[in-house]
Structure 1
Amino acid sequence: MTKRYIPVLTTLDRELPYFLVDAGQRWVQEHIVQPEGYLYQWIQCREGEGELLLGSKSYRIKEGMGMLLFKGTAHEYYAISSVWIVDWIVFDGQQVESFLKHIAGISRSAAYYVSQPEILLSRIQNVLDIGNSENTMKSMQCSGAIYSLLTDIVQYASLYPNNSANSLNFKLKPLFDYINQNYSCPITLEILAEVTGLTPQHLCKVFKKATNLRIFQYVNSYRIQKSKELLLQNPQMQIKEIAYQSGFEDSNYFCTVFKKLELLSPNQFRKTWLRKEVKGILRSNSGENPPPTNLPVS
């Protein structure tokens, strides 16, 4: 069943970080030509096939694929099968460009493969449900739903098949498991490449795309997390031993990495949190037997 929702936008709505302009479901897509572009759009194929033209490039849009169109980008799209059924959402807002370019690392319009298309379709369904409800906070709820859609695009959509962040994380699970079990031992790129069955160079690219981190940034971050546990569980243990048990052969390097990530030295971190724990215990003990407040009057 075809559905559509077009909100009546107020000045306040347009000040939201993300706001809805239009949304539709199970739409029989007509031929669209926008030489001046339009607003931000996500258009996802349900059935049939279409073609997207962006400048001199053309993209075949099949079931399980979507088009992310940037505001003001010239484009054209049309069906190439007898019927092309799509779900779509049009949106704008003060934070959209910043999110896409600086957080998601998406800088231009393109066609995307979607590893779990039903998740993104459910986001559009959610927007339509909000729009067709009697809720007086529709605009804010739609704003949140658009943000969720964008984060799902980052997680489940990619320019190439089986290359979404979600798919890559699945491929990297043996690596995460290995680091979890062996963080206190020497870890090399060659070992991690062997664990995942990838070449070192390809592993670095895959890991960066999946996590937005370099591999040894992640390894160091994981080791520092484990070192924090040791610092608090073993108040008398020397920093050199903490470093060694956390996988750092050089205690000076351990202290440098720790301070860079936590903005405190290991000793400062330990003293700060142990002091907080002592205060918490004293506060708890002082409240065990509070003075009575309803003593009888003599």
Structure 2
Amino acid sequence: MRLAYYPMLSPKVLDLPVYMCFTGAIHQDPISRDDSFPYFQWIQCVSGKGRLIVGGTQFDVGIGQGMLLYPNEPHEYYATSEEHWETHWMVFGGFAVENMARLAGMTRSGSYTLSNSDVTLSHIRTACTIVRTGQHWAGLECAKIAYSLLMDINRFITFHTESTEQQSIRLQRVVEYMEQHYAEVITLEQLAAVLDISLQHLCNLFKKVHGKRPIEYLNHVRINKSKTLMFEHKSLSIQEVARCVGFDNPGYYSSVFKSLEGITPSLFQRLNGLR
């Protein structure tokens, strides 16, 4: 079985934020692509099992799961079961597709599990039916279905729940980044990029594992580094210490120091014989 359907894409359709390029169903043959495929793909397992290899990672794909593939990224996938690996798929165009994928937590190519895969499969099957009519409006109607498919993936996608210990191990990469770059300007976007997760996910992880937000944790790192710096370089002024640990504003540094240590940096120096 190999069915593929291509709607007529008018200029009006091509200007939409999300539209369907083509769709279909297949007894999946082995696929190996270089980095020249220019579209997002959603490929959902209907029966059998398969394996996806992308970005140096291997994913097993079974019933209730789908593969989201980013454009222009080398990948391969193939059946791993004796029975046919049947998949239904849709290929997307439009400038908003990546944002919708990231909204669903699909920040990279990979295999994702759905709590209700029947709903998403029904969208693909409906799109196949509409394209077969050959009507001039099929492209516009399939664009609506493509949008609905992405929204329902967002609605039904599930993620493996990590233990607190696993989450702590995962966050260690961010903590190490803070330790290495505390003297530089560090944004939440940079920290989230270390794990390739959303800002909200990063903040939730830090709150659960460390009981504080990422920037609060970073401030702890910087204040501890500043105390070490005061002992090692007694001649440095408060302003110089502040700059050395990533605070452009000495007043803000002193405020953060006092909120965490209960005393000002100057008093800390005096109490420890550093002045």
TM-score w.r.t. the length of structure 1 is 0.51
The amino acid that maps onto 1:31 is P
Map residues 230-241 of structure 1 onto 2, 5 A cutoff.
Answer: none
- Structure with the larger RCO, 1 or 2 (CA within 8 Å, 6+ apart): 2
The corresponding residue for 1:19 is 19
1:30 aligns with 2:38: no
- Cα separation, partners in 2 of 1:35 and 1:2, compared to 1, 3 Å: closer
Secondary structure of the equivalent of 2:11?
A: coil
- Distance between the aligned counterparts of 1:32 and 1:134, measured in 2? 29
The corresponding residue for 1:149 is 149
The amino acid that maps onto 2:94 is G
The amino acid that maps onto 1:34 is R
- Distance between the aligned counterparts of 2:81 and 2:134, measured in 1? 38
Map residues 101-116 of structure 1 onto 2, 5 A cutoff.
Answer: 101=102, 103-116=103-116
Give 1:107 deviation, angstroms. 1.8
Give 1:2 deviation, angstroms. 5.5
- Distance between the aligned counterparts of 2:105 and 2:79, measured in 1? 29
Give 1:37 deviation, angstroms. 5.1
Q: What is the count of residue pairs matched by the alignment?
A: 165
Map residues 78-157 of structure 1 onto 2, 5 A cutoff.
Answer: 78-82=78-82, 83-101=84-102, 103-157=103-157
1:37/1:75 contact within 8 Å kept: no
Over the matched positions of the two proteins, sequence identity in percent amounts to 34
Secondary structure of the equivalent of 1:41?
A: strand
Over residues 178-208 of structure 1, what are the superposed CA-to-partner deviations in whole Å (9 max), with x where a residue is unaligned? Answer: xxxxxxxxxxxxxxxxxxxxxxxxxx959x9
- Distance between the aligned counterparts of 1:55 and 1:96, measured in 2? 20
- Distance between the aligned counterparts of 2:131 and 2:67, measured in 1? 23
2:10/2:139 contact within 8 Å kept: no
The corresponding residue for 2:194 is none
2:68/2:106 contact within 8 Å kept: no
Map residues 36-75 of structure 1 onto 2, 5 A cutoff.
Answer: 36=35, 38=37, 39-75=39-75
- Distance between the aligned counterparts of 1:107 and 1:56, measured in 2? 15
Map residues 244-263 of structure 1 onto 2, 5 A cutoff.
Answer: none
1:18/1:95 contact within 8 Å kept: yes
Segments of 5+ residues of structure 2 without an aligned counterpart are: 162-202, 208-275
The amino acid that maps onto 2:121 is L
The amino acid that maps onto 2:88 is D
2:8/2:136 contact within 8 Å kept: no
- Cα separation, partners in 2 of 1:33 and 1:159, compared to 1, 3 Å: farther
Give 1:105 deviation, angstroms. 4.0
Secondary structure of the equivalent of 2:133?
A: coil
TM-score w.r.t. the length of structure 2 is 0.54
- Cα separation, partners in 2 of 1:58 and 1:37, compared to 1, 3 Å: farther
- Cα separation, partners in 2 of 1:3 and 1:104, compared to 1, 3 Å: same
- Cα separation, partners in 2 of 1:9 and 1:48, compared to 1, 3 Å: same
1:112/1:160 contact within 8 Å kept: no
Segments of 5+ residues of structure 1 without an aligned counterpart are: 162-203, 209-298
Secondary structure of the equivalent of 1:152?
A: helix
- Distance between the aligned counterparts of 2:104 and 2:27, measured in 1? 30
